[in-house]
Structures are given as C-alpha cells and as structure tokens.
Amino acid sequence: MPTLDVRSHRGRTQIRGALRYDPKALLSQERLALPLPHDGKIVVYGDNDASAEQIAQRLEEQGYNNVAVLAGGFEAYEEAGFPTEEATQEQPIPGVEGAGIPRI
C-alpha cells in the first residue's frame, strides 16, 4: 500500500517506505499519471489533515479510487511509535517541466 508524504517541507524523517511528492505540483498539474495503483489503497499525509485531504481529493478526481488520509498525520504516526526512516528525495511527477521526464 503506497503512502504519500505531501508535506510542504521535507522533514528529517518520514514514514518508512513513503513516497515524497511536491503538494503544489500534485495540485497544479492538469493530469496526473503517477506510478500508483488506481484501485489499490493509497494513504496520504501532509502538513495537516486539511492539506492531506485536498491532495486525496485531487487524486480521487484523477481516478485513484481508494485514497485515505492518515488522521493526525506524521506526528500522530511518530508518537504512536511506528517505524520511520530518513526522508527520501522527492519523486518526479510525470509531465512536470524540469522533472527529468519528457513531456508528451
């Protein structure tokens, strides 16, 4: 189950295995073609529940059918003692200028 870290500023740590995406890019692209399952569960956490909800809604509009927001976000997850790891690099969003992926 993919977990998306869409916080505005990358923290030092993240949920183990999370994929980091730029929230502004996710909201501004006309069409999202992310390497995520359209029918599998996707969990999103951001700066707060409202920002994560906005990203989740955007993903649903783009055909990702099973998106959920992690209640309480990263802070609640970390406080519960679940596994974290050093933050990874931001994932490119296909079609975004300068992301290293050509536009079609």
Distant-in-sequence, close-in-space partners of 85: CB < 8 Å, separation ≥ 6: 13, 14, 15, 16, 17
Q: Shortest CA distance to 21 belongs to which of 104, 77, 102, 99?
A: 99
Is residue 96's pLDDT more than 60?
A: no
Give the separation between CA 82 and CA 23, rounded to whole angstroms: 24
pLDDT digits (tens, 9 = 90+) for 3-42: 999 999 888 999 999 999 999 999 999 899 899 999 999 9
| CATH dotted code for 3-86 | 3.40.250.10
Angle at 44 between CA 82 and CA 27, to 5 degrees: 150
Confidence at residue 19, expressed as pLDDT on a 0 to 100 scale: 96
Please state the domain extents for the chain: 3-86
pLDDT digits (tens, 9 = 90+) for 67-85: 999 999 999 999 999 999 9
Q: Residue 42 in 3-state DSSP?
A: strand
Report the mean per-residue pLDDT for the chain: 90
Give the separation between CA 86 and CA 16, rounded to whole angstroms: 8
DSSP 50: H
pLDDT digits (tens, 9 = 90+) for 60-71: 999 999 999 999
